Amino acid sequence: MKWVKENIAAFGGDPSQITIFGESAGGNSVFNHLAQPNSFPYYNRAIIESGCYDEGAMQIKEANVNYNTVLKTFQCKDLACLKTKPAVNLLGVLMTLHKWGPVVDQIELTATPEQLFLQGTQHKVPTIIGSNRDELAFWTLKAVDSDCNETCFDIAITASFITSKRVFNASILQELKELYQFNGSYVYPKNLGTYSTYWWEETRVGTDAGTFENVFNVG
């Protein structure tokens, strides 16, 4: 972003009119830049698409647990040892961790982006925020039975909230089902193939319960 700010004029751009945009993990990155003061000088607008699915960062204690897990996996004692390992192997271990991403390090982030927004210390620039209609469908193709029924749905959603340690109760489950299944506000494709509407619902909410903390104000 610094390079763009300093050089975009040479390409016919306006350094005073820079917009940062990201989708999914990229949207979460924009969420972070809106909370990190060191980024503020380099953009004037922001767009977050399907990016506010968690608080935006983890605490240092949780990050250290991940770090020690990786050290143990590779039988290493320090970062210098990890740097000698093949990147593909490191990536394989990374994908097994419960959570990974930015860290509240008291340097770039003094709290999570969500907390900083609640404190009102974010970069106050024009911002568009939204989400893709079927953002999570790809991730649940193999994770959820295609003929998922109501019982299957109840079990999957309840488990996902428990796993993510979010506050959950029967009224939230019912609200989710009414939103997608019973009142017709969600328009399904005409041809679902071998997939049920409950499978389609599960692709909306089952793989990341944290997405709904902003909708239902839970957690």
Three-state DSSP state, 1? coil
Spatial separation of the C-alpha atoms in residues 188 and 182, rounded to whole Å: 12
- The confidence score (pLDDT) of residue 140 equals 61
One-character DSSP codes across 25-57: HHHHHHHHHTT-GGGGGG-SEEEEES--SS-SS
* 90/31 same-domain check: no
31 & 44 share domain? yes
Q: Which domain covers residue 173, as residue numbers? A: 137-216
pLDDT of res. 69: 92
Q: Judge if 120 and 147 occupy the same domain.
A: no
CA 198 to CA 144: how far, in whole Å? 10
- With bands split at pLDDT 50, 70 and 90, how would you rate the model's confidence at 217? very low
pLDDT higher than 50, residue 83: yes
Angle at 104 between CA 160 and CA 53, to 5 degrees: 30
Sorting pLDDT into bands at 50, 70 and 90, what band is 205? low
Same domain, 160 and 68: no
Q: Which helix (H) or strand (E) holds 49?
A: strand 45-49
Q: What are phi and psi of 13, to 5 degrees?
A: -90, 170
Statement: residue 76 has pLDDT above 90: yes
Whether residues 191 and 170 fall in one domain: yes
Domain shared by 69 and 171, yes or no: no
Total number of domains constituting the chain: 3
